[in-house]
A and B are shown apart, each in its own frame.
Chain A
């Protein structure tokens, strides 16, 4: 028994030495690092050509390490003084994994709809491919499938022209495509929406950067046809005033 335990101990010794910093109770020389960030990429007031005022947000929050992160994304708007509730365009909780130096793959669940007590929310599963494309195009591509099985693809791309060390001109393009028709949510298949914007941003600090900008939003394809049939305007333009804020 004694011999056996001695043998066991001897066998263990090299393993202990292998750990490099052998003794129990010693701290690790380098620890894993976790942090998080809340970033409002857009937090703005919009004045549309219809003379409506909107409050708009588009944010992402994350927590985690280098590879694994919990991600929360949210986007929505509220038309001011119309008595209508806030429109939540997306609220998603995802798990993200860094798959290559510049890209993370994210998967999770989301919900969207009108934030009022009587409306039912549209719940969906979502996967995203988010990162930095060559030539510094910042992209977030998401594929959503709701409970009805409707499939939608949303792609957002931003680019930054560095004007000075603290100011930027930033074009932005976002398009939505429905891979299936949806009766319940009145969606027509095909490219449905395109939104392009341009904003000028000036950093007061890296964390707080007010901006002004313009955008054009247009319905496309079957969606546009449908809107025309209903007598609705298929395009919208507007000016925005807001800030990019993170903490």
Chain B
């Protein structure tokens, strides 16, 4: 009974407050946006039938006028709120001079509504309207974006929230936050710069003075040992993000840190934050100093609550967290680019106009031996060396994890590399790929608070298909930084003959091995991937981030006939050919 009552109460307050807070922001935003000369639109579209108009319009981004692609006049696009069980009717009109498209990221829908030009449909020609129609069979936090060329980099994206059937959001209030990375450069120029000049955007390389300092501190021999491997491989431990804060302005709901996007709460309320990484290329580490966050959903799908202080969000992932600020003061929502080249902050506040202290950017991290697929070797190294090498995981952390770690299926899967590696397209092969789901990732190993790791995620419920996999597909993530080549199994999309074939109705295990030094968020359209992280129920993901030299396994029910895109969600990696079509037949 009391449960029922609570649910009802929550439902009521939620609907009252989401509208109220939305109104408050919409009303207030122009006053502090005015000095920058931009009055912000924060449309929330809830109509039964929704019209979206794609256009290119000059808009103030940070403190400069840019030419983003806008959706209904705003960048990012409006928040679309659908309801589980409804039929989505979304009419997208193209007012650009080139083709466009919208892909509904993470939504289970028919093949021809998925919005990938060349895979699910022709694309939307200039002047045309495409009518997306599909039944909404899920709820949670998702997003939408262009799948045409590099339009996503120009801000052609927006949040998509699907309310559960019963309307219970498990909180008194909610806010949706979409993070993005903006550049005033032409995205085609960015891509060419990456292609012709390795490290173009990296202004955090090791200098010779740092080498001298290491020699002074650790001696010549150790410094040489540490440098040797990187030198032999012609790679840099500081190669973390391809495109960095040197060109990017990081945005939270379209505002930079100075504009300080703010969201309201009343002390004591439970606030659900729906956080979406809509970036083209940037991973963020998100925290709210002074507030514990309880993760309740990953990629829109409910997980058993995990309380943490910080989480890393890969490109295209979403996390829902619940916070319960008790004090009548402002809190900073801090999203730091994972290479520490920049950040964006917003504010969670009881009244508009307040702000809290903004943390400093942390030191530039370096990749350790584990990145080279030498995890096992690294662990046998002595303590001192580990410290010096900035190895993933302090001893304490590692031991702790080892004690609690369950045996994962992927650990018993022997990884086969094709004869002679993957050719010139792969500058590296992970010598000893390992499961790294229990590691928080580069730069977060030694923080003194709780950081979410993939092995923390437990599905909130069992998924319908409980079959064991009948078949296994292995894919390797490959790359060559020198020429900015990115591919699967050493072949980019234009070099493969056909799609990856799934048999309709089969249950299969997808094993992926990251043979590169970069993190990659891999996204499968049309079907969920259940992450085999040792937990049950397994968490479901639409986008899975692989660390360097990591191997993961995922279970897929091939229940969606048709052709689906499967790709790295780093925009320029996809453009370079790290893309496949999966055909379910």
Q: Which residues of B contact A23 (CB under 8 A)?
A: 122
Q: Within residues 122 to 165 of chain A, which ones have a CB less than 8 A from any CB in chain B?
A: 132, 134-136, 161-165
Closest A residue to B485 by beta carbon equals A66
- Indicate if B192 sits at the interface (CB-CB under 8 A): yes
Taken together as a complex, chains A and B put the C-alpha atoms of A23 and B118 apart, in Å, by 8
Closest A residue to B119 by beta carbon equals A21
Known contacts A18-B497, A26-B122, A29-B119, then 11 further A-B pairs from the complex at CB < 8 Å, ordered by chain A residue: A18-B498, A18-B499, A25-B122, A30-B574, A33-B191, A37-B196, A66-B425, A134-B233, A136-B234, A161-B208, A163-B207
Taken together as a complex, chains A and B put the C-alpha atoms of A134 and B204 apart, in Å, by 21
Question: A134 to B234, Cβ gap below 8 A?
Answer: yes
Contact partner of A246 (CB less than 8 A), chosen from B197, B485, B575, B583, is B197
Contact partner of B231 (CB less than 8 A), chosen from A17, A18, A134, is A134
Please encode chain A, from 79 to 104, with 1 for each CB lying within 8 Å of some chain B CB and 0 for all others: 00000000000000000001111100
- Indicate if A22 sits at the interface (CB-CB under 8 A): yes
Question: B493 to A102, Cβ gap below 8 A?
Answer: no
Q: Within residues 5 to 46 of chain A, which ones have a CB less than 8 A from any CB in chain B?
A: 17-23, 25-33, 35, 37
Taken together as a complex, chains A and B put the C-alpha atoms of A134 and B191 apart, in Å, by 26
Question: A35 to B192, Cβ gap below 8 A?
Answer: yes
Question: A30 to B494, Cβ gap below 8 A?
Answer: yes
Shortest distance from the beta carbon of B199 to any chain A beta carbon, whole Å: 9
- Indicate if B342 sits at the interface (CB-CB under 8 A): no
- Indicate if A206 sits at the interface (CB-CB under 8 A): yes
- Specify which of A20, A22, A206 lies most central, judged by the most chain B CB atoms within 10 Å of its CB: A20
Question: B494 to A32, Cβ gap below 8 A?
Answer: yes
Question: B234 to A17, Cβ gap below 8 A?
Answer: no
- Indicate if B434 sits at the interface (CB-CB under 8 A): no
Please encode chain B, from 390 to 433, with 1 for each CB lying within 8 Å of some chain A CB and 0 for all others: 00000000000000000000000000000000001111000000
Please encode chain B, from 546 to 557, with 1 for each CB lying within 8 Å of some chain A CB and 0 for all others: 000000000000
- Indicate if B200 sits at the interface (CB-CB under 8 A): yes
Taken together as a complex, chains A and B put the C-alpha atoms of A142 and B517 apart, in Å, by 32
Taken together as a complex, chains A and B put the C-alpha atoms of A245 and B220 apart, in Å, by 36
Taken together as a complex, chains A and B put the C-alpha atoms of A99 and B119 apart, in Å, by 32
Taken together as a complex, chains A and B put the C-alpha atoms of A134 and B227 apart, in Å, by 12
- Indicate if B195 sits at the interface (CB-CB under 8 A): yes
Q: Which residues of B contact A163 (CB under 8 A)?
A: 207-209
Shortest distance from the beta carbon of A12 to any chain B beta carbon, whole Å: 14
Closest A residue to B494 by beta carbon equals A32
Taken together as a complex, chains A and B put the C-alpha atoms of A34 and B483 apart, in Å, by 12
Shortest distance from the beta carbon of B192 to any chain A beta carbon, whole Å: 5
Shortest distance from the beta carbon of B472 to any chain A beta carbon, whole Å: 21
Taken together as a complex, chains A and B put the C-alpha atoms of A161 and B208 apart, in Å, by 6
Give the interface size bracket for A toward B: 35 or more
Q: Which residues of B contact A99 (CB under 8 A)?
A: 424
Closest A residue to B479 by beta carbon equals A101
Shortest distance from the beta carbon of A57 to any chain B beta carbon, whole Å: 19
Closest B residue to A37 by beta carbon equals B196
Q: Which residues of A contact B192 (CB under 8 A)?
A: 35
Please encode chain A, from 179 to 217, with 1 for each CB lying within 8 Å of some chain B CB and 0 for all others: 000000000000000000000000000100000000000
Q: Which residues of B contact A26 (CB under 8 A)?
A: 117-118, 121-123
Contact partner of A100 (CB less than 8 A), chosen from B117, B123, B424, B577, is B424
Closest A residue to B578 by beta carbon equals A30
Question: A18 to B232, Cβ gap below 8 A?
Answer: no
Give the interface size bracket for B toward A: 35 or more
Question: B118 to A29, Cβ gap below 8 A?
Answer: yes
Contact sample, A vs B, 8 pairs, CB 8 Å cutoff: A17-B583, A18-B498, A20-B499, A29-B118, A132-B234, A136-B231, A165-B203, A206-B200
Taken together as a complex, chains A and B put the C-alpha atoms of A135 and B499 apart, in Å, by 38
Question: B579 to A27, Cβ gap below 8 A?
Answer: no
Q: Which residues of A contact B205 (CB under 8 A)?
A: 162, 165
Which 5 interchain pairs have the tightest Cβ spacing?
A20-B581, A20-B499, A29-B118, A135-B231, A101-B427
Q: Which residues of B contact A22 (CB under 8 A)?
A: 563
Taken together as a complex, chains A and B put the C-alpha atoms of A38 and B482 apart, in Å, by 17
Knowing A23-B122, A32-B494 are in contact, say whether A98-B193 is a contact too (CB < 8 A): no
Shortest distance from the beta carbon of B97 to any chain A beta carbon, whole Å: 16
> How many interface contacts (CB-CB < 8 Å) are there between A and B?
109
- Indicate if B492 sits at the interface (CB-CB under 8 A): yes
Question: A17 to B585, Cβ gap below 8 A?
Answer: yes
Contact partner of A101 (CB less than 8 A), chosen from B117, B119, B209, B482, is B482
Closest B residue to A169 by beta carbon equals B208
Q: Which residues of B contact A161 (CB under 8 A)?
A: 208
Closest A residue to B120 by beta carbon equals A21
- Indicate if B480 sits at the interface (CB-CB under 8 A): yes
- Indicate if B92 sits at the interface (CB-CB under 8 A): no
Taken together as a complex, chains A and B put the C-alpha atoms of A55 and B529 apart, in Å, by 62
Please encode chain B, from 171 to 205, with 1 for each CB lying within 8 Å of some chain A CB and 0 for all others: 00000000000000000000111011100100111
Closest B residue to A67 by beta carbon equals B424
- Indicate if B218 sits at the interface (CB-CB under 8 A): no
Shortest distance from the beta carbon of B59 to any chain A beta carbon, whole Å: 26
Q: Which residues of A contact B583 (CB under 8 A)?
A: 17-18, 20
Please encode chain A, from 100 to 125, with 1 for each CB lying within 8 Å of some chain B CB and 0 for all others: 11100000000000000000000000
Q: Within residues 131 to 148 of chain B, which ones have a CB less than 8 A from any CB in chain A?
A: 147
- Indicate if B28 sits at the interface (CB-CB under 8 A): no
Contact partner of A21 (CB less than 8 A), chosen from B99, B234, B424, B563, is B563
Question: A27 to B99, Cβ gap below 8 A?
Answer: yes
Shortest distance from the beta carbon of A164 to any chain B beta carbon, whole Å: 6
Taken together as a complex, chains A and B put the C-alpha atoms of A134 and B575 apart, in Å, by 28
Knowing A27-B99, A30-B577, A164-B207 are in contact, say whether A102-B234 is a contact too (CB < 8 A): yes
Q: Within residues 459 to 517 of chain B, which ones have a CB less than 8 A from any CB in chain A?
A: 480, 482-483, 485, 492-494, 497-499
Please encode chain B, from 100 to 123, with 1 for each CB lying within 8 Å of some chain A CB and 0 for all others: 000000000000000011110111
Closest A residue to B201 by beta carbon equals A206
Q: Which residues of B contact A165 (CB under 8 A)?
A: 203-205, 207
Question: A135 to B492, Cβ gap below 8 A?
Answer: no
Taken together as a complex, chains A and B put the C-alpha atoms of A99 and B423 apart, in Å, by 8
Q: Which residues of A contact B197 (CB under 8 A)?
A: 206, 246
- Specify which of A27, A99, A166 lies most central, judged by the most chain B CB atoms within 10 Å of its CB: A27
- Indicate if B291 sits at the interface (CB-CB under 8 A): no
- Indicate if B22 sits at the interface (CB-CB under 8 A): no
Please encode chain B, from 231 to 251, with 1 for each CB lying within 8 Å of some chain A CB and 0 for all others: 111100000000000000000
Closest B residue to A99 by beta carbon equals B424
Question: B585 to A30, Cβ gap below 8 A?
Answer: no
Question: A30 to B493, Cβ gap below 8 A?
Answer: yes
Knowing A165-B207, A206-B193 are in contact, say whether A29-B424 is a contact too (CB < 8 A): no
Closest A residue to B198 by beta carbon equals A132
Question: B482 to A102, Cβ gap below 8 A?
Answer: yes
Question: A21 to B483, Cβ gap below 8 A?
Answer: no
Shortest distance from the beta carbon of A188 to any chain B beta carbon, whole Å: 37
Taken together as a complex, chains A and B put the C-alpha atoms of A56 and B205 apart, in Å, by 31
Contact partner of B195 (CB less than 8 A), chosen from A19, A21, A35, A100, is A35
Q: Which residues of A contact B231 (CB under 8 A)?
A: 134-136
Question: A28 to B118, Cβ gap below 8 A?
Answer: yes
Shortest distance from the beta carbon of A161 to any chain B beta carbon, whole Å: 5
Question: B203 to A35, Cβ gap below 8 A?
Answer: no
Shortest distance from the beta carbon of B485 to any chain A beta carbon, whole Å: 5
Taken together as a complex, chains A and B put the C-alpha atoms of A134 and B195 apart, in Å, by 21
Contact partner of B119 (CB less than 8 A), chosen from A20, A136, A162, A166, is A20
Q: Which residues of A contact B119 (CB under 8 A)?
A: 20-21, 29
